[in-house]
Amino acid sequence: MNANTPRPHPADTDRSTSELLSGTARDLPSGRHEFHKERLMAQIHDMQRAERTATPAPAQKRRLRLPRPAVTLPLTAVAVAAAVVTGVWQTGSGGVRESGVATGPALTTKIGAATTKGVPQLIDRISLAAADTSHPDVKPGQFIYIESKSADSFVKTVGDESSLASHALHTRQVWKSADGTEGWLIDPAVNDSSEGETLSLPDEQGNTPEATLNAPSFDYLAKLTTDPDELLAKIYKETEGMGNTPDQQAFTTIGDLLIESYPPAELYRALFKAASKIPGVVVVDDAVDAAGRHGIAVARLDETSGEREEWIFDRKTHVFLGERSVQVRKGTGEDALITPGTVLFTNAIMKRAVVDEMKQTPSQAG
């Protein structure tokens, strides 16, 4: 789940990127930095893949998740987005760029016990619940509306000192047209304006990229195979070279699709079936989403980063509630700041609906 809250995950700080950012950020109009961040993450995955191919493998960086449309933008925008991947926003004077969301101590939780026992049975129940879930078609002119609550922990750097901090729990609203060419985002952790910003295409440079697994539209998802084996093969093929391992990237890609897209019912069910075939998938008996709802989780540990991604479901109905990423192993180097129990990202889906107008909410549609 690449147009995910954008999540500034902690990572190795890239000094050259920070220097480039400080020299170029002024070239972008006020309020556009986060717009570019929201729009460029899929392209960054391609950039990172190219870098890994051309040079010896660098230390892996934690990635922002939730799908975002890829788009070609000027070098200054690419510099800004590249800096975001490191999870640290710095100004030229060494200060920290503040968002519209209050910051506080890092989020923490008790690490739930994980087991491989019962994984197939749980995913079967989740798949059955998914088949019974109503996923209406999105007609031309209509928009998918998703409202969620989210918070995250990140590395906060002031001068030469770094520490863990968090963005407070806040509401995120996003609208997307069926073809993915029109959209709007309201997120105080992303937008400088309380009114939000456009996600519509073409972008400022006239580019309209095609939808992909990491930047999907409803129309794109509606055309995907619903055969779990074929679907998983496609995911592995299209995400080759991304993430820390192929298996973890496949799991993450499916998770992104659960959070901030509205897959057709048959595809929704197939995604869970495909996930069950990924090695290393476990069950976490108790996990809590951003809204404080307890549930049971389907999860997978990224052996490289020590971060466990958890998809949280209602224990009785098996409806998807949200996702969180929890550090379960202590890191080394700068990652040593990220201690076990740190919640790197937490999300809760509150509303998911089809509306007739941009910026219209389900209550207004009635």
| Digitized pLDDT (tens) for each residue of the chain, 366 residues in all | 443 344 444 443 343 443 433 333 333 333 333 333 443 443 443 443 344 334 333 333 343 443 333 322 333 333 333 333 333 333 333 334 456 788 899 999 999 999 999 999 999 999 999 887 777 789 889 999 999 999 999 888 888 888 999 999 999 999 999 999 999 999 998 887 789 999 998 877 888 888 999 899 999 999 999 999 999 999 999 999 999 999 999 999 999 999 988 999 999 999 999 999 999 999 999 999 999 999 999 999 999 999 999 999 999 999 999 999 999 998 777 788 999 999 999 999 999 999 999 999 998 876
Detail the DSSP E strand segments found in 29-128. Answer: 103-104, 114-115
Nearest to 68 by CA among 151, 156, 180: 180
Task: Tell me whether residue 166 is in a domain.
Answer: yes
Instruction: Give the separation between CA 134 and CA 45, rounded to whole angstroms.
Output: 33
Task: Tell me whether residue 217 is in a domain.
Answer: yes
DSSP 342: B
Half-sphere exposure (CA, 13 Å, Cβ side) for 32?
16
Task: Tell me whether residue 10 is in a domain.
Answer: no
3-state secondary structure of 218: helix
DSSP assignment of 99-162 equals -SS-EESPPB-PPPPEESTTHHHHHHHHHHHHHHS------TT-EEEEEEEEEEEEEEEETTEE
Instruction: Give the separation between CA 2 and CA 67, rounded to whole angstroms.
Output: 3
Domain range for 282: 15-365
Contact 328, 292 (CB under 8 A): no
Task: Tell me whether residue 220 is in a domain.
Answer: yes
Task: Tell me whether residue 4 is in a domain.
Answer: no
Q: Element (H or E) spanning 310, and its range?
A: strand 307-313
Task: Tell me whether residue 232 is in a domain.
Answer: yes
| Number of independent structural domains in the chain | 1
Instruction: Give the separation between CA 83 and CA 10, rounded to whole angstroms.
Output: 12
Task: Tell me whether residue 336 is in a domain.
Answer: yes
Structure tokens at 73: 């933008």
Half-sphere exposure (CA, 13 Å, Cβ side) for 39?
31
